[in-house]
Amino acid sequence: MRTMRTIIAISVGFAILFGISLYITKEINYSSETVQSKLEQVEMLINSDNWDEAVIKTNEAYEYWSKAKEWWAIALNHNTLNSIDVAYTRLQQFNNTRETPHSLAELNTLIILFKDIAKSETLKLNNIF
C-alpha cells in the first residue's frame, strides 16, 4: 500500500512538472513570436526611411520585452537575456542616429536571438531522456 502511494505521488509530481514545463514553453513561444512580429514591422519602417515610426515601434517592442523578461528570467539563461538587452540598446541608439545598416544588423541580431530562444526552450523528448 505504501509503495502505491509513493508511485501515485511521484506520478502526480511528474505530471505537474510536465504541465508547468508545457505552459512555460507555450508562453515563451508566444511572447517570442510577438516580439519578432514587432521587430519585423520595425524592419519595414527602417527600409522605408520612416525613422520616427521605427523609433516608436522599437520602443513598443522593448516595453513588451521588458515585461516578458521578468518571468523569462525564471526559465532562461541570464546571458541570453543580457544579450537581448544589449542588442535592444544598440538598436535604439542606431535608430536615433538613423544609421540604416547598423539598425538593420542589430534588428536581425534580435530576431535571431528570439528565434533561438523559441527553438532552444521547446520541450522535446530528447531533452528529457
pLDDT at 39 > cutoff 90: yes
Q: The whole model's pTM is what?
A: 0.80
**pLDDT band for position 122 (cuts 50, 70, 90):** low
Cell of 28: 515563451
pLDDT at 79: 86
Nearest to 111 by CA among 41, 45, 50: 41
The residue written with cell numbers 535608430 in the block is 95
Reported as a single tens digit per residue, the pLDDT across 64-91 is 988 888 877 777 778 888 999 999 999 9
pLDDT at 123 > cutoff 80: no
CA atoms within 13 A on the CB side of 2: 0
pLDDT at 36: 93
pLDDT at 125 > cutoff 60: no
**E strand map for 6-83:** none
Q: Are 16 and 88 in contact (CB under 8 A)?
A: no
What kind of fold does domain 28-122 have according to CATH? Four Helix Bundle (Hemerythrin (Met), subunit A) (1.20.120)
pLDDT at 24: 83
Nearest to 25 by CA among 124, 125, 126, 128: 124
Residues 1, 9: Cα–Cα separation, whole Å: 12
Residues 104, 10: Cα–Cα separation, whole Å: 50
